Amino acid sequence: MPLYFADSAESIVPDALAGFASAHADLVSHHPDHGYLRARGGSAQRRVGLVSGGGSGHEPLHAGFVGAGMLDAACPGRIFASPHNRQIFEASRAVAGPEGVLHIVKNYTGDRINFGIAAERLAHEGIPCARVLVDDDLATDSDDIAVGRRGTGATLIVEKILGAAADEGRGLEDLAALGAEVTRRSRSLAVASAAHTAPGSGTPAFELPDGVWEYGVGIHGERAGSTTPAVPLTQFVRTMTDRLLAALPDGPRPRVLALVNGLGATTSLELYGILHALTKALDDNGVALDRSLTGTLVSALDMRGFSLSLLAADDELLRLWDAPARTPAWPL
């Protein structure tokens, strides 16, 4: 892995977690024996612990959103690999509230299985557990894909809104239903102009010719179904926006919350330009951009790309989005 600044492929994740924990020691505690990060403090009202996790390489997701108003614990796996069920089980047991624990899981087979095994173990200990499965990626919305849509950028939206709702003392089933509704109202799409660097080889995970973009790419460097010629950005963002708006449930929505997300190697300069293009595209569709968040938040190592996520918003969801949060990476 010559391009990565790390001692080895094995050490990159544990070393980063140790560094992260010391950088944010006021907000999180690190439990290296079991491999999870836990929030310090938080709302005394909370009756349900919120636990998320997944492969590493998506920083700041998920560890960056552990803290007051968001997650109680995060379980990072190896790069692009699901966490072990033991991490999830131990983290869940540690942060479960009087009404149990809610797992926020991105839709990938390994994550589903490992969170599922942890849930079975929790049930044996008498700890109630429910799951929100985030499956927002429009690029994988096809009858040919038996495993369903992937979970991508909307995971952050779910984590923020559920964190605020959990702080209000809501119960397990209530939170699970709210998470499912936020997911139902969210869709994302991603495009890349260059692949991430594969940790094993140190070379690009796939090659793209000049002037060609990978449209519909995943957050693990999964290639899309097709490539597309690189067109002027404003035009391309409009195409993405139209497609996302058309996919939101229950017909045209007058108001949205948007996430303009960098996949790792896209500059802030570019991302804010993309937000500008998105705002115009929404405006042309008669849709109000009620809230937006721009930054590298759900990354795919150093992929040069971005994703757009739209949530069909309402007053209640916006109220929860606006609630204060204090975590290592929550920017608002």
User: Between residues 54 and 153, which has the closer beta carbon with respect to other proteins?
Assistant: 54
Catalytic-role residue among 24, 30, 31, 58? 58
The residues that touch other proteins, with contacts defined as CB under 8 A, are 84-86, 89, 110, 112-114, 116-117, 119-121, 124, 146
Q: Which helix (H) or strand (E) holds 270?
A: helix 268-284
How is residue 210 written in tokens? 């000049």
Report d(CA 303, CA 157) in Å as an integer: 21
Give per-residue burial for 116-137: e unless 16+ CB within 10 Å, then b: bebbebbeeeebbbbbbbbbbb
What pairs with residue 134 in β-bridges? 106
Annotation marks residue 24 as catalytic: no
CB of 120 to other proteins, least distance (A): 5
How is residue 148 written in tokens? 């369903």
Q: Which residues are CB-neighbours of 239 under 8 A, at least 6 positions away? A: none
**Contact (Cβ atoms closer than 8 angstroms) between residue 57 and residue 300:** yes
Best CA proximity match to 309, nearest among 113, 194, 152: 152
Give per-residue burial for 187-207: e unless 16+ CB within 10 Å, then b: bbbbbbbbbbbbbeeeebbee
Q: Where does the chain show beta strands of DSSP type E?
A: 28-31, 36-39, 49-56, 73-79, 101-106, 129-134, 186-194, 212-215, 226-229, 255-262, 288-295, 304-312
**Contact (Cβ atoms closer than 8 angstroms) between residue 58 and residue 64:** no
User: Between residues 118 and 293, which has the closer beta carbon with respect to other proteins?
Assistant: 118
Q: Which residues are CB-neighbours of 25 under 8 A, at least 6 positions away? A: none
Annotation marks residue 276 as catalytic: no
CB of 117 to other proteins, least distance (A): 5
Q: Give the residue numbers annotated as catalytic, written as ranges.
A: 58, 220
